Amino acid sequence: MAPEDIKKLRQELGCTARELAGALGIEQETVLAWEHGDLFPTKRFVGMMEELRRKGPEAIPRKKRRQVAASPLQLLADPELWRLFRKLLAHPELRSAATKLAEAYPDPTDAAPP
């Protein structure tokens, strides 16, 4: 399997070198070395990669990416926030229900600064 074939496989599977390495049970550096032509995969790994190709992108285990908390300004730019705000203003019963629901959550301004 040539370096170009490994790059093409990653494109087909929509995965990073780290994710492909994880699926093969090896280090990311090994996959990168294969892609640079510094090393070549053994027959065993070629077979494993062909099996991954056959199974498709679902065969690649993926870690859930950490969600970065939006800044207050980013939240204020969200049209859905303003849509919700308009509904809260227009419907007293919704405002009452939201107030009751919000009682279970701490107020972020009450938190101690980091």
pLDDT reported for residue 112? 60
Binned at pLDDT 50, 70 and 90, residue 16 comes out as very high
Binned at pLDDT 50, 70 and 90, residue 22 comes out as very high
pLDDT > 60? residue 114: no
- Cα-Cα-Cα-Cα torsion 34, 32, 17, 26, nearest 10 degrees, comes to 70
Kindly state the percentage of the chain with pLDDT values over 70. Answer: 93
Dist. CA 65–CA 67, nearest whole Å = 6
Binned at pLDDT 50, 70 and 90, residue 67 comes out as low
pLDDT reported for residue 65? 64
Dist. CA 37–CA 35, nearest whole Å = 6
- Cα-Cα-Cα-Cα torsion 67, 32, 55, 8, nearest 10 degrees, comes to 100
Kindly state the percentage of the chain with pLDDT values over 90. Answer: 72
pLDDT reported for residue 70? 76
**pTM flag (> 0.85):** no
Confirm if 52 and 13 have CB atoms less than 8 A apart.
yes
Task: List, in order, residues 6 or more apart from 23 with CB less than 8 Å away.
Answer: 15, 48, 52, 59, 60, 61
pLDDT of 77-104, one tens digit each?
Answer: 888 889 999 999 999 999 999 999 999 9
Helix/strand/coil (H, E, C) string of 20-39? HHHHHCCCHHHHHHHHHCCC
Amino acid at 59: A
